[in-house]
Amino acid sequence: MCERRSDRGWTEALPLTLAPAALAVVFALLGAAGASWALAGDTPDFHHSLAVSVYPPDQSLRAVDSIYVTSEALTEGKVNFLIARSLSVEKVTSTCSIKRWYTEEDVDPALFKADPDSDDAETVKRAKGIFIEFDPAAPCEGRFPIVIAYSGVIHDSLAAPSKSYAKGFETTTGLIGSEGVYLSSESLWYPFQFGRMFSFRMKVDVPADWRAVSQGALMREAIEQVRGSDGSSSDRLLDVWAEPNPASELYLIAGKYFTHEDEFAGVKIMTYTYGPSDSLCKVYMDATKRYLAMYGDLIGPYPFAKFALVENFWQTGYGMPSFTLLGSKVIRLPFIVNTSYGHEILHNWWGNSVYVNYDEGNWCEGLTTYGADYLYKEKISPDQARDYRHHTLVAFNDYVTERKDFPLSDFLERSDAATQSVGYGKSLMIYHMLRCSLGDSVFWAGLRDFYVRYKFKMASWGDLAGAFEEASGENLTWFFDQWVRRAGAPLVSLANVDRAKHHGKHTVGFTLKQVSPAFTVDLPVRVETTHATESFTVRLSGEDSTYSIETRSQPLALAIDPDFDVFRRLYLEEVPLTLGGVFAQDSIPVVLGASENEATRTALKEVATSWDLAGNLLDESTGVYACVGSSDAWLMGRGEAMNRLLAPLKDEIEITEGTVRIGDSTYTLEGNTLVFTVRNPNDERLGIGVVLTQDPEALRSLAGRLPHYSSYSYLLFAKDKPILRGVWKERRSPLRVDFRER
């Protein structure tokens, strides 16, 4: 890529000549507090003291970064950084004698300790190296600054999300533009090293009608007149942001924001939105106070000086240290404030202050999901909590085939539905099982201790296990080895169920079996009796074990794990088929119904194409029914194949010329779009997805959104609005026996 220089000169805050004597000038420009703060003895080994000017119309920035390091950071008298290829490095100086410095593209990732099993190598491909060699005749001592001046354009256009992952957002590695600014470590907008923790103080100036946001505390904000090298001057907003605690990356967000501020328990609460949005901001600020209080009580004091809600100009749901970046549409969804917003706030405890040591996998996403999304359901009702656990296990069943399964210790981040089902779903179920086993008080005590020990430090699954072991006094090595370092899930079966009465005592006997290799799993047992429901827990640690349970009155029914408290493979009877079960299948046939008109068939073809199934299109013919009769498939439009496959399912769903009957309820199809799934009557392990529409234009607009409805079995849309959605009822689990039916 050709390097482009902005035609704007350096501002007075960004001197080019930075000999040792000039460092005092830099400190003066950054503020007297900046100099002493940067050199504080309790800061991390690295400290970035930046002055940054951002020019949105030019898509450019100019910066000076004074990086404070110690001699221990040098390797054989050298230090290397990465920076975006589009940025020109103008000057490198230091109080320590530099022998030479240079930049180079196409560098060896190993020189920068890039992890070959992650996206690090791709990051290096977008970067150039800054190589600095110090004079061996004048060894560097103590802490000293390396001052790097640079400028250039950063504008990576937004890319569409992956079609294979319904929860994906548009992405960019970073951009500066008139619509807004988004810069992260992926943008390589500051001199960067993999795995390096640092503190920072950043002075940033943007156009006067803009606002800038970063992590940490806002130390200063003022409008000042800044003069460029060409003699022109303009009003600029100057902010100073600072964070003394170790951080792994540095963010800079900016836009034409309206701001609100409040305070709660010593924490500044802020909002940055693209309009005044007074009522919306109040809702979010009030919610922030609730979440800070909730997690402060459960885990410990909030770790940062502020929390900010920041609106983004494209659709995101990001959680950064001390702020969250939510898309302009996302932020206005009525349910977000009570769901995802709390999730992002909780990340300030897990992930943004207790950091993830990825060498052993990512423990953070499952813990955050359990403490936010799941816990909110639990606070509403036991039924909603059960449904959440059930949905989590259904998703694992749908998306995680044997080929796609892997241990949690290998999970780094989600990239599709399968990785989400392991890294988020399996993980949250493990925390739930641990909480059920240890009890609430011990579980939360373990997490509070974990937080105190590892705040602003790297932590692993092993560190987390150690905190729970100390809180409980138990050896939990087997638990974490089994659930974290091993793939798979147990499939438990029930056999030899009987009841008896001896000498006035009632007993229930049963055998539990599991597929080899065996897991050790504690299974809830529920026995309905003539007087009450009695609950027990049994441990299954081999391939089979037989149990006898004494009850206070006559047993009527036995159920194993009826509320889905255990991470396990489900039976078909426990898994209502959803759209997700069909979307999860790779490259399945799509049958276009011959009874549809050409306009509808064209729209249906476009839907199949948008789902990457254009090569699987089949027109109805003699062989089509045989093909879809033994396969997962999509039926799009009316035709003989649809009629034949749905005929045996009239008790569940029946379609006439203008209506659809689902169970006992009938709905009109006139002008609407119907999407649903059913079990293939030839093989109930297979799923059939059906798409019918009387509004082809509306269907086109729905195509990209339908994967987002993966948790539903059936949906009816008027235009692009869902007017009916639901999930088929579960059938009786093979892990339940009713003695009254014998």
Flag whether pLDDT at 579 surpasses 80: yes
For the chain, the residue count is 742
- Give the class (CATH, top level) of 579-726: alpha beta
Contact between 593 and 620 under an 8 Å Cβ cutoff? The reply is yes
Q: Of 197, 107, 101, 106, nearest to 149 (Cα)?
A: 101
Instruction: Pinpoint the residues of the chain covered by CATH 1.10.390.10.
Output: 354-484
Reply yes or no on whether the pLDDT at 654 is more than 90. no
Q: Which of these, 611, 602, 535, 521, lies nearest to 566 by C-alpha position?
A: 521
Got the DSSP string for 517-577?
A: SPPPEEEEEEEEESS-EEEEEEEE-SSEEEEEEEESS-EEEEEESTT--S--PPPGGG---
Residue 451 in contact with residue 297, Cβ under 8 Å? no
Helices then strands, counting H and E runs in the chain, come out as 18, 38
Per-residue pLDDT tens digits for 128-177: 999 999 999 998 989 999 999 999 999 999 887 654 444 556 889 999 99
Q: What pLDDT sits at residue 17?
A: 32
Fold of 492-571+735-741: Immunoglobulin-like (2.60.40)
* 1-157+183-252 classified as CATH 2.60.40.1730: yes
> What pLDDT, on the 0 to 100 scale, is given for residue 336?
94
Q: Locate 412 and state its tokens.
A: 């780094």
What pLDDT does residue 650 have?
A: 80
Per residue in 238-295, pLDDT tens? 999 999 999 999 999 999 999 999 999 999 999 999 999 999 999 999 999 999 999 9
Q: Where in the chain is the domain with CATH 3.30.379?
A: 579-726
**Torsion sign over Cα 187, 189, 194, 196:** negative
**Per-residue pLDDT tens digits for 449-504:** 999 999 999 999 999 999 999 999 999 999 999 999 999 999 999 999 999 998 88
User: H or E segment at 340?
Assistant: helix 340-346
pLDDT of residue 742: 78
Alpha carbon distance 136, 43 (integer Å): 27
**Chain segment 293-347, per-residue pLDDT in tens:** 999 999 999 999 999 999 999 999 999 999 999 999 999 999 999 999 999 999 9
> Which tens digit of pLDDT belongs to each residue from 181-224?
999 999 999 999 998 999 999 999 999 999 999 999 999 999 98
Whether residue 246 contacts residue 456, with contact meaning beta carbons closer than 8 Å, is answered with yes
Is the pLDDT at 391 greater than 90? The verdict is: yes
> CATH classification of 354-484, choosing from 3.30.1300.10, 3.20.20.140, 3.90.1150.10, 1.10.390.10?
1.10.390.10
